[in-house]
Structure 1
Amino acid sequence: MDRFQAMRVFMGVVEANSFTRAADNLSMPRATVTTTVQSLENLLKVRLLNRTTRSVSLTPDGAAYYERCVRIMKELEEMEAAFQDAARRPQGRLRVDVAGPIGRRILIPRLCQFRERYPDVELVIGIGDRPVDLVQEAVDCVIRAGELADSSLVARRIGSLSFVTCGAPSYLERHGEPQSLEDLAQHHAVHYFSSVTGRNFDWDFVVGGVSTPVRMQGQVAVNDVDAYNACGLQGLGLIQPARFMALPHLENGELKEILPAWKPPPLPMSVLYPQNRHLSPKVRAFTDWVAELFSQCPLLNGSDGEGFTAGECRYPERPATYTVREMLDEENQLAGLS
């Protein structure tokens, strides 16, 4: 007996509430429908349907079996659709949500590249750090930093951000430069607080291969990356920003790295999408493209960035002279900041 065919016949009888109508809907003889359901009951050794001359109804076992049949058939259809979609060109509306700095500094300057490759994809990009309910808000995927906390999402690792501990020369002239982690107790930091909990994030350093938190004191707290860096540049306290954002300021002397022997741990970057959806061609195309962007620059793929200059991170689709510094300048111009 073909079990999948038997399940379809059984579901057809339940949904039509009649053997005769099910036979018509399935283009099968009524006797075949009846025999198939009887054979299925014999196989399972339970009665699935109550039959009278006028109606058909589910038994408790039949109701449970029907629910599982629906689930199995839906998963089978999604699996088949995934392979059928793979042969199609990516197309349709793609809603993406991404944190501000990555969106403005990494994605937006190179969207023309994505559009050239996938002209039939309509991109809708939400930029922000707030938690997003992908199902309720019809978001296809999000790019986020940190470990996966929501078990209902699938994460594809695309890179890793390195961080640097630094301060403005004006701050270091006033307070001195710390020489050890213990010295940080005598210093102030600009705090970065969570938009969700309102709590300040502790600093972290890798000590003996283990991530070690350090609680800093400070009198200024923000929840925006650009504001955080701006406060550090003004000398309001030490900061621990992503290296790719701090690097131009480190090179021109506006910031100075401190405690280079103790590095902050890198932060994984991932594309997240619901696990109960097959990966459509448009989502697959986007995640592949983003992973390629991150892989092309050591500042975005896990390097600690030591000895690395802004001019060394180039993207092949741009002119050879297009550097991280020019990328940031372009972003500032787009934002009307320069």
Structure 2
Amino acid sequence: MKINKLRQLPRLLAFAAVAEKGSFTRAAEVLGVTKSAVSQQISLLEEELGIRVLNRTTRGVSLTALGESLLSQCQLLQDQTNRIFTDVVNAGANPQGRFAVTFPHAFESNIVIPAIEQLCLEFPGLEPELIVSDKALDIVSNNLDVAIYSGELPDSSYRALPIGAMTEIFCATPLYLHRAASPVTPESLGEHRWLATSWQQQKMPIWHVDCNKSDVIQLNPFARANTLACALKMALRHMGVVLLADVVAKPYLKTGELVHIAHRISGPHWPVYTLHAYHGEKPVHLTRFHQLVSRFFMAL
């Protein structure tokens, strides 16, 4: 006799409830179903097992000898089921294990690292794995929990939570500007040493702040770097002009290490999101991570 074991699991749990409560009615109340549904489950169990597990009388129900033997095993099944759901609930409230996040270099020092530090204080069971990359990484194929993404969203099934927006601005050190001995205006930017990243093009789209219109200017790269961090380090060594996201530039502008130049124009303007692949309710630590990232982003 071939038995569909998965189909029997709810029937065994229904049997255990009837045996413990001594009544189909009280078992139905505990299980949150109708009395007839419980009765049907027990009948199907007995039919497929080929044994009678309950004696039914007008005064109630009692266990057969085989039913008594089966009950102890079903109670173990009940305990295991309860333990599984307890673990799931606790995992939601107290998440543990790997939490993999990818994000561009621009968000590393002043946004993601402080957010992760606070997140681990609140959820000490987490084991963060940070993948810093200026190239967008796919969440599923790279086995990631969340990605911080800047730019227009890709056409995908991922869920996006808005963080804010950032604008690229032109910056240089006071010493470079002194050495250059010429004013940095929108018209003269092409004459200055430009420290470009690999994704920035010579024909740079810009926005005229004062007249609220877009344009394109020609820039001449003096040096190129494949990461924003490298371009920034060259700029801090007075090697030229760099186009930085404002979230990256602000701490250096506050200390005076960099100066915002060519105020009348800005580079591209990018929306910023937290991306995740959950279609139902998000894990509590992912929601909290998004909140923290948004807070540190807005504080810059």
The answer to whether the aligner puts 1:279 opposite 2:274 as a matched pair is: no
Q: How many Å separate the matches in 2 of 1:249 and 1:177?
A: 21
From 105, 122, 130, give the equivalent of 1:125. Answer: 130
Tell me the residue number matched to 1:92: 96
Q: How many Å separate the matches in 1 of 2:239 and 2:192?
A: 11
Query: How far did residue 90 of structure 1 move?
Result: 4.4
Query: How far did residue 149 of structure 1 move?
Result: 2.0
**Paired residue secondary structure (1:161):** strand
From 221, 244, 247, give the equivalent of 1:218. Answer: 221
Q: How many residues align?
A: 217
Q: How many Å separate the matches in 2 of 1:174 and 1:222?
A: 22
Q: How many Å separate the matches in 2 of 1:216 and 1:154?
A: 36
The answer to whether the aligner puts 1:134 opposite 2:139 as a matched pair is: yes
Matched ranges for 1:157-306 at <5 A: 157-172=162-177, 173-174=179-180, 176-179=182-185, 181-194=186-199, 202=204, 204-207=206-209, 208-274=211-277, 276=279, 278-295=281-298, 297=299, 299=300
Tell me the residue number matched to 1:61: none
Tell me the residue number matched to 1:6: none
Change (3 A) 1:92 1:164: same
**Paired residue secondary structure (2:241):** coil
Query: How far did residue 201 of structure 1 move?
Result: 8.0
Bigger fraction of residues in strand:
2
Report which of the two structures shows the higher radius of gyration computed on alpha carbons: 2
**Paired residue secondary structure (2:139):** coil
Identity of matched residues, %:
23
Change (3 A) 1:182 1:157: same
* Unaligned ranges ≥5, structure 2: 1-6, 8-39, 45-84
Q: Which amino acid aligns with 1:271?
A: T
Q: Which amino acid aligns with 2:296?
A: L
Change (3 A) 1:123 1:201: farther
The farther-off stretch of 277-286 and 132-141 is 277-286
Normalising by structure 1, what TM-score? 0.54
Query: Cα RMSD (Å) of the superposition?
Result: 3.3
Query: How far did residue 203 of structure 1 move?
Result: 5.1
Matched ranges for 1:47-86 at <5 A: none
Q: How many Å separate the matches in 2 of 1:126 and 1:272?
A: 14
Contact 1:159 1:291 in 2 (8 A): yes
Q: Which amino acid aligns with 1:260?
A: H
Q: How many Å separate the matches in 1 of 2:42 and 2:228?
A: 65
Contact 1:89 1:281 in 2 (8 A): yes
Query: How far did residue 211 of structure 1 move?
Result: 4.0
Q: Which amino acid aligns with 1:124?
A: E
Tell me the residue number matched to 2:17: none
Query: How far did residue 228 of structure 1 move?
Result: 0.8
Query: How far did residue 257 of structure 1 move?
Result: 2.2
* Unaligned ranges ≥5, structure 1: 1-11, 13-25, 31-80, 300-338
Change (3 A) 1:288 1:158: same
Tell me the residue number matched to 2:11: none
Tell me the residue number matched to 1:107: 112
Query: How far did residue 227 of structure 1 move?
Result: 1.4
Change (3 A) 1:290 1:221: same
Normalising by structure 2, what TM-score? 0.60
Contact 1:170 1:235 in 2 (8 A): yes
Q: How many Å separate the matches in 2 of 1:199 and 1:259?
A: 18
Q: How many Å separate the matches in 2 of 1:112 and 1:254?
A: 26
Q: How many Å separate the matches in 1 of 2:201 and 2:264?
A: 28
Query: How far did residue 184 of structure 1 move?
Result: 2.5
Q: Which amino acid aligns with 1:141?
A: V
From 107, 127, 150, give the equivalent of 1:145. Answer: 150
Q: How many Å separate the matches in 1 of 2:252 and 2:159?
A: 36
